[in-house]
Copies of this chain bind each other. A is one copy, B any other.
Amino acid sequence: MPQVVNLAEKLTKFQDHWAPRVIAQMNDYQFKLVKFQGEFVWHSHASTDEVFLVLAGEMEISFRHETITLSAGELYVVPKGREHITRATHECHALLVEPQGTVNTGDAGGQLTAQNDVWV
């Protein structure tokens, strides 16, 4: 049987930034926790939407012609194929939902590319 997943407890298990940890899997989708601060890289995901739910702090998602701000308790669906970049002035904690195998840097690659399927 699956275990109950306590988000706050899982967030104590890692401290590094831009390195999502899987906490649950539903069909072929994964729920991941991520901590970050500063600015990520411009990228897009060609084959999937991506959901962010902010748990603590505040983040921005910029698109080429718009920037949205998400605070704790706010959710956003980044449409597939849409170029975006995430950033946070102070450390932000978020829950991501996306298909298993989704690479955090999408089509961009680079040094911020995280290993997939790392559970916590």
A residues touching B (Cβ–Cβ < 8 Å)?
Answer: 1-2, 4-8, 23-27, 29, 31, 48-51, 63, 66, 68-70, 73-80, 97-99
In the complex, chain B residues whose CB is within 8 Å of the CB of A98: 26
Contact B74 A6 (CB under 8 A): yes
Contact B79 A2 (CB under 8 A): yes
Contact A73 B8 (CB under 8 A): yes
CB distance from A101 to the nearest CB of B (A): 13
In the complex, chain B residues whose CB is within 8 Å of the CB of A8: 73
Contact A25 B77 (CB under 8 A): yes
Contact A1 B75 (CB under 8 A): no
In the complex, chain B residues whose CB is within 8 Å of the CB of A75: 4-5, 7, 23-24, 31
